[in-house]
A and B are shown apart, each in its own frame.
Chain A
Amino acid sequence: MLEMQIWFYTGCALVILGTIGTVIGPGVKDPIVRILNTEIPAVGVSLIFLSYNHVLALLTFIAATVIITLILLRAVVRLEEMGAEV
Chain B
Amino acid sequence: MIVPEVVPAITVSLFLPALYVALIVGFIALLGISFQKKDVHALILTDIVGVAMLIIVAAVGTDLAEALILPGLVVELAEIMAISEILMSREMRKTGKKVSFMPMPIKMDMEILKTAPNFLSLVLIVYGIFLTGFTGGAVAGVGILFYALARKSRGLPFQLWEGVSGISGVAWCIWLAGFLILFVAPEIWLLGLLMSSFGILLKVASKMGLIGVLGREEFKRN
Please give the residue numbers on chain A whose beta carbons come within 8 Å of chain B beta carbons, in ascending order: 4-5, 8-9, 12, 15-16, 19-20, 22-24, 28, 31, 34-35, 38, 41-42, 44-45, 48-49, 51-52, 54, 56-57, 59-61, 63-64, 67-68, 71-72, 74-79, 81-86
Contact B100 A68 (CB under 8 A): no
**Beyond A12-B17, A57-B70, A79-B87, is A52–B44 a contact (Cβ under 8 Å)?**
no
Chain A residues closer than 8 Å to B102, beta-carbon distance:
74
User: Do the beta carbons of B38 and A41 come within 8 Å of each other?
Assistant: no
List B residues at the A interface (Cβ < 8 Å): 10-11, 14, 17-18, 21, 24-25, 28-29, 31-32, 38, 40-41, 43-45, 47-48, 51, 54-55, 58, 61, 65-66, 69-70, 73-74, 76-77, 80-81, 84, 87-88, 91-92, 94-95, 97, 99-100, 102-103, 134-135, 138
Residues of A within 8 Å of B70, CB to CB, are 56-57, 60
**Do A19 and B28 contact each other (CB < 8 Å), given the known contacts A38-B48, A86-B40?**
yes
- State how many angstroms separate the Cβ of A41 from the closest Cβ of chain B: 5
Contacts A38-B47, A48-B18, A52-B65; A82 near B95 (Cβ below 8 A): yes
The interface centre, meaning the residue of B43, B54, B103, B134 with most chain A CB atoms within 10 A of its CB, is B54
Given contact pairs A60-B70, A78-B88, A82-B95, enumerate 9 new A-B contacts (beta carbons under 8 Å).
A9-B17, A15-B51, A16-B25, A20-B28, A22-B44, A23-B31, A57-B66, A61-B54, A75-B88
Q: Is the CB of A63 within 8 A of B138?
A: yes
**In the complex the two chains form, what is the Cα distance from A16 to B5 in whole Å?**
32
Known interface pairs A45-B54, A64-B77. Does A15 touch B10 (Cβ–Cβ under 8 Å)?
Answer: no
B87–A75 CB distance below 8 A: yes
Are the CB atoms of A23 and B29 closer together than 8 Å? Answer: yes
Q: Inside 8 A of A19's CB, which chain B residues have their CB?
A: 25, 28-29, 48, 51
Question: Nearest chain B CB to A46's CB is how many angstroms away?
Answer: 10
**Does B77 lie within 8 Å of A22, measured CB to CB?**
no
Complex CA gap A65/B100 in Å reads 24
